[in-house]
Amino acid sequence: MAIKKYHESRGDFHRNICLIPTSAHGTNPASAALCNMKIVVVDCDEHGNIDVADIKKKVELHKDNLSALMITYPSTHGVFEAEVKDICDIIHKHGG
């Protein structure tokens, strides 16, 4: 809700896409849905890490309406994302 209110405070009412990796806890998509966000699933690799290539593709596809990335950290697989800083940079640089 904080992210949604932030975007609304800037007049960005169209930002309704929440990227959620398959490794996230099940409450993540539920929380996003409660805020009327559209959930876009991001793939993970065979070790449970967020697939950086897939997140780049989804950020580019949804950049005009991207609101947030919601991850569980560590993931439900017990993985601490080695690329978490790069992933955050991708979201903030290209996601608006």
Going along the chain from its start, the domains and CATH numbers come out as 2-94 (3.40.640.10)
- Which pLDDT belongs to residue 77? 78
Query: What pLDDT is stored for residue 67 in this prediction?
Result: 94
By the 8 A CB rule, do 10 and 37 touch?
no
Residue predicted with more confidence, 26 or 2: 2
91: tokens are 């979201």
Residue pLDDT, tens place only, 15-74: 999 999 998 888 999 999 999 999 999 999 888 899 999 999 999 999 999 999 998 888
Torsion sign, CA atoms 75, 78, 84, 87: negative
